[in-house]
Every structure is written in C-alpha cells, then in structure tokens.
Amino acid sequence: MLVREGDLRGRRVLDVGCGTGALAAALAERAACRVWGIDSSEEMLAVARANVPSVRFKEARAEQLPFKDGWFERVVLRMSLHLFDRPRALRESRRVLGPSGRLAIATGDPEHFGELWIHRWFPTIAAVDRERFPTKERLIDELEAAGFDSVHVDVLQQDRTITRDQALAKIRGRAFSTFQLIPPAEYEAGLVRAEAELAPVTAAPSRWLIVVAG
Ligand SMILES: C[S@@+](CC[C@H](N)C(=O)[O-])C[C@H]1O[C@@H](n2cnc3c(N)ncnc32)[C@H](O)[C@@H]1O
C-alpha cells in the first residue's frame, strides 16, 4: 500500500529511521527502488548492513539529514515518526525532497490504541502511546506547517494473529520501545500474567495511518 499510494516503484528513496532495514530491503528487492537508509542507532544499522547489502545505510538523525536539498524523489517513514522531534524531522524530510517529491508515512493510528493484544497485560502502554503517536488531524497540521500540501490519509486495518511463543518473545524481548516507558513493576506483573493467561493463538489486529504528502 505504501508503494502504491506513495508512487515509490523505481524511485530514489530515503528510509528515515530504517531500523534493521526490513522496509528498505522490501523496497529495493520488490519495488526496484534505489534506497538509502538512515537510523540513529549503530546497533540497528549493523544488522541492516549485514542483511541488506543493496541499500546504503548511514548513521544520522531524522532531525538533521546528511543529504543535499532535493536529493530524493521519495522519503518513507514506517513506525518511526513517533520517535522523532516531528516539526524538525518533517522539515528535514521536506528539504531533501526534490520537485514533485512525496513523503510516505506508515504510523500507528492512536484511535485504535487500547484494543491491542498487548494492552490487556500492560494497560499503561496505550496511554503512553496516545501521547507519542499523532492523530490523523494533528499529523495533517504538522505536515502543512512543515511545508507539505496535498496530504492524503488512508486507514489500513490488518487482521493478524500471533502465537503464544511469538507474543512471549515480543514481551520478553521488549520488542516495543514503549516497554521502556512503563513502570518496571507493571512490566514484571504483566509478564507473569501473560505467561499464565496467553492462549495458543491470539488475535493481533493493527490499524495504520498511511499518509502521503506532496
Ligand atoms: C520501530 S523502529 C522502525 C524500523 C523500520 N522503519 C521498520 O519499519 O522496520 C524505529 C527506528 O527509529 C530509530 N530512531 C529513533 N529516533 C530516531 C531519530 N531521531 N533519528 C533517526 N532514527 C531514529 C530507532 O533507532 C529505530 O531503529
């Protein structure tokens, strides 16, 4: 959906907050994009470099991109926007985009928070994430303030399931950054309850905002 809505196929793309390079790899291998990835974590980039040799990775911050004005046709942000200083990061994305450039974003829809599988055992996560993830309306305002126009928003519902082992691995590995922001006692108690209560398979739907701005 990001490739289609963002018109990414074959483009020169910057993946901001690329993490271990999962999206960058898919864009290079399945959408014929020429991809650069930046991330502030050298550990994430070490995994990305080992896994995705076709993509050029650099350590950098979204708020200060090490590229010339207008260098890219597309910028993509997937599950990273909530971690940035958004006004600065969105202005930087705007700066590195050339004429007819587009920014394509996939981010969690905060209207859905509270209904995710993880919230049953870690209720504070929903409240913390509502503060971190922008609503659709707020994101449109922030994009316009950063110089974008023609903002288009779609909602994507993914109905998935997660096995008990996968769920426990995510909890034990603190796979979501929000685990760092909840009280340690809530984490410990939630882990014990999840170990006792998790079913063999759990519904794990997610709802995304897919946002494209010119
Ligand atoms: C949840 S991961 C998403 C990874 C990737 N976009 C994906 O979809 O697979 C968020 C990434 O943003 C990075 N990050 C956090 N703050 C950042 C910043 N200010 N500038 C650049 N990267 C940042 C983190 O290191 C992490 O790798």
Q: What does the pLDDT look like over 164-191, one tens digit per residue?
A: 999 999 999 999 999 999 999 999 999 9
Dist. CA 122 → ligand 1 center (Å): 22
Q: Which residues line ligand 1 (CB under 6 A)?
A: 17-19, 22-23, 39-41, 44, 61-63, 78-80, 83-84
Number of Cβ atoms within 10 Å of the Cβ of 144: 13
pLDDT class for 212, splitting at 50, 70, 90? very high
What is the mean pLDDT of the segment spanning 70-81?
98
Ligand 1: which of 27, 58, 64, 80 to mutate, judged by most atoms within 8 Å of the beta carbon? 80
| Residue span of the structural domain in which 19 resides | 2-213
Q: Is the pLDDT of residue 152 over 90?
A: yes
Ligand 1, atom 14, residue with closest C-alpha? 17
pTM value is 0.93
Ligand 1, atom 17, residue with closest C-alpha? 40
Measured CA angle at 189 (ends 186, 192), to 5 deg: 145
Q: Is the pLDDT of residue 114 over 80?
A: no
Q: Is the pLDDT of residue 30 over 80?
A: yes
Dist. CA 199 → ligand 1 center (Å): 31
Q: Do the beta carbons of residue 87 and residue 145 sit within 8 Å? A: yes
pLDDT recorded at residue 200: 97
pLDDT recorded at residue 61: 98
Dist. CA 29 → ligand 1 center (Å): 21
Ligand 1: which of 83, 174, 179 to mutate, judged by most atoms within 8 Å of the beta carbon? 83
Dist. CA 41 → ligand 1 center (Å): 8
pLDDT class for 113, splitting at 50, 70, 90? confident
% of the chain exceeding 70 in pLDDT: 100
pLDDT recorded at residue 112: 82
Q: Residue 89 maps to which CATH number?
A: 3.40.50.150
Q: Is the pLDDT of residue 104 over 90?
A: yes
pLDDT recorded at residue 13: 98
Q: What's the number of domains the chain is made of?
A: 1
